[in-house]
Structure 1
Amino acid sequence: MDQDRRQFYRIDHPVVLDYKIVSEADVASSSKPYQFNVSPYFLLQSQLSGIDAECQHLVYKIAESTPHLATYLQHLNKKIDLIGRTLADSQLEVDSTHMQIINLSEGGLSFTAEEALELGTLLAIKLVFPENSLGLLLYAEVQRCEPKEQNFDIGIAFHKMPESCRTLLARLIIEAQARERQAQLHG
């Protein structure tokens, strides 16, 4: 985790977080946790963002030769994003009792838990970013567990994270950095 702390930029971010302890067999059988009962729209925004990232270079290529077509495609993409966000907003379950500020990077996160977790424990993680209508299901491994007042500060490293999720987290972190800079400039 200390190496990740140096390798990735970290932000404090509000999320709804839930986790379940899982076995190595669970992790080996799937790259995405299936331990949570989520609506079909839960991962919609993350899937749309993944497709977006895959197609971004194509839009740039099209813009070089046909700028009007590229602009049209960008507008279609905005429509799809709006539809996706509306569907996700209506179905994302935001349980405010699980809302907390986490310290997030592309490689992992730290959060507060009521119970201690042994180092090396594998977790299925459910993250909801309410401001983005974004839901993620990831596997992680406990790297740190330290007592903190009446709770525990848990540090986890993401495990078997699909590249699309890493790209999505990187974008989310960059957007949060930009908002922080804007707030500092106008604050």
Structure 2
Amino acid sequence: MDQERRQYYRIDKPVVLDYKVVSQEDVAGSSQPHQFNVSPYFLLQSQLAEIDSESQHLIYKIGESTPHLASYLQQLNKKVDLIARTIAGSELDLESSQLQTINLSEGGLSFIAPESMETEGFLALKLVFPDNGLGLLLYAEVQRCAKVDGGHEIGVAFLRMPESCRTLLARLVLEAQARDRQEQL
């Protein structure tokens, strides 16, 4: 995990976090956890963000030759995003969930848990980012567990992360990094 700190920019981010201890066989069997009962809307924002990311270069190209069409397509994209946020937000029920601030990077995260965990153990993680409604399901390996006030600080490295999740995490981290730099200026 110390080496990861040098590889990736890290941010503190409020999330709704749920986790379950799983076996190595669970991790080997799938790239996304199936241990959580989630609605079809849970991953909607993430899937739409992935599509949006893939289409940005096309809209840019269209904008070079037909700026009005590109502007119209961006407006349609905003409509779809608004509809998706409304649908996904009504299903997520964030008010009844426990919000906590995690330390996040593209390679892993750390959080406070009430119980100790074995290093080299495996977790299924469910993350929901309340500021944009993104939901992610990921596997991780416990890298460290240290006793702290209020529980144990658990550091994990993501495993077998789908590229779409990596792209979304990279975007979240880059946006936070840009905000941090703006605030410093």
Q: How high is the TM-score relative to the length of structure 2?
A: 0.93
The percent of aligned pairs where both chains have the same amino acid is: 70
Q: Can you list the C-alpha shifts for 1:124-147, whole angstroms capped at 9, x where unaligned?
A: 001111111111111111011111
Match of 1:32 in 2: 32
Q: Mapping of 1:131-170 within 5 angstroms?
A: 131-170=131-170
Match of 1:175 in 2: 175
Matched, 1:52 2:25: no
Q: Can you list the C-alpha shifts for 1:55-89, whole angstroms capped at 9, x where unaligned?
A: 11111222222222211111111111111111111
Match of 2:7 in 1: 7
2:171 is paired with a residue whose SS is helix
1:35 is paired with a residue whose SS is coil
Match of 1:103 in 2: 103
Match of 1:88 in 2: 88
Following the alignment from structure 2 to structure 1, what is the Cα–Cα distance between the partners of residues 51 and 172? 15
1:117 is paired with a residue whose SS is coil
Following the alignment from structure 1 to structure 2, what is the Cα–Cα distance between the partners of residues 113 and 181? 30
Q: Which moved more, 1:109-118 or 1:146-155?
A: 146-155
Q: Mapping of 1:117-136 within 5 angstroms?
A: 117-136=117-136
Aligned residue type for 1:33: P
Q: Can you list the C-alpha shifts for 1:15-65, whole angstroms capped at 9, x where unaligned?
A: 111100111221122111110011111111011001111111111222222
Q: Can you list the C-alpha shifts for 1:143-174, whole angstroms capped at 9, x where unaligned?
A: 11111124111000011111111111111122
Closer, same or farther: CA 121–93 of 1 in aligned 2, 3 Å: farther
- Cα deviation, residue 13, structure 1: 0.9
Aligned residue type for 2:139: Y
Closer, same or farther: CA 64–17 of 1 in aligned 2, 3 Å: same
Q: Which runs of 4+ in 1 moved over 6 A?
A: none
Q: Which moved more, 1:23-32 or 1:6-15?
A: 23-32
* Gaps in structure 2 of 5+ consecutive residues: none
Closer, same or farther: CA 18–95 of 1 in aligned 2, 3 Å: farther
* Gaps in structure 1 of 5+ consecutive residues: none
Q: How high is the TM-score relative to the length of structure 1?
A: 0.92
Q: RMSD across aligned C-alpha pairs, in angstroms?
A: 1.5
Aligned residue type for 2:179: R
